[in-house]
Amino acid sequence: MALKVLSEHRCFEGVQGYYAHASSEIGLDMRFSVFRPPQAESQRVPVVFYLAGLTCTEETFAIKAGAQRAAAELGLMLVCPDTSPRGANVPGEADSWDFGLGAGFYVDATAEPWAKHYRMYSYVTRELPALIAAEFPADPQRQGIFGHSMGGHGALVCALRNPDVFRSVSAFAPICAPTQCPWGQKAFGGYLGADTAAWNRWDAAALVRERAFDGRILIDQGLSDKFLAEQLHPEAFEAACAASGQSLTLRRHGGYDHGYFFIATFVEEHLRHHAAALR
């Protein structure tokens, strides 16, 4: 199908919309959201892709983060895809909250039965940016990416592997070293198979040791995050950046947890980080 408009809503003199299309990478219909700032009525504008975390959808960030006011001021388009394919009907995909539905981990699966549809990496780095540039007044030469938790992992990996596509990157409480944590090991074992050496291509801490990003990476992490010690490992990414000379600002915030009140507190600073890089 062609681009389908699900709904559009006036918001800070721009438009918050929800859309669907038939994805060639995924092989199924995919949904995504777009905030068009008021500047997009007269010109192409920079676009920042946001990758949400486990159990989220294309609606979560738009509803909970409160990002539209700052994006309207800065003239940034915000795009948020869904977090996994829907309707693949893979056996077991709905059995747990941290694998399968709502948990695509932004990788291209190579293990069966996931390889046919679970191709979120190629969807986010190739198909969706091309669709946005074709259907919306976005400037494909000025693209950034950020995300939260599983989506923070995705944003770091997508930017490190595609510096020609994304000129800026940031993350909230990202899964920094998925090969070293239970969430990542479960996802990679299922989607990528038993060859753990192949997992490093999808591990931000491993990637940044080999290829620095041309620009500063911004990460915010709450110190009251219940997932910090076991799942997130920002210290591993910090050490890898120090080893490779990657410019990194890693801010640790006392009292903040893993949720969207934390994201809403700092989202404007992330948008300003992207706006500065995409001028």
Catalytic amino acids? 149, 225, 258
Q: State how far the Cα of 167 lies from the Cα of 274, in Å rounded to an integer.
A: 8
Residue 63, Cβ density class (10 Å: 0-12 exposed, 13-18 middle, ≥19 buried): exposed
Distances (CA, A) of 35 to 68, 82, 121, 242, 249: 7, 15, 22, 35, 27
The dihedral through the CA atoms of 34, 264, 99, 92 has a sign that is: negative
Q: State how far the Cα of 112 lies from the Cα of 170, in Å rounded to an integer.
A: 32
CB 125 within 8 A of CB 132: no
Q: State how far the Cα of 177 lies from the Cα of 94, in Å rounded to an integer.
A: 25
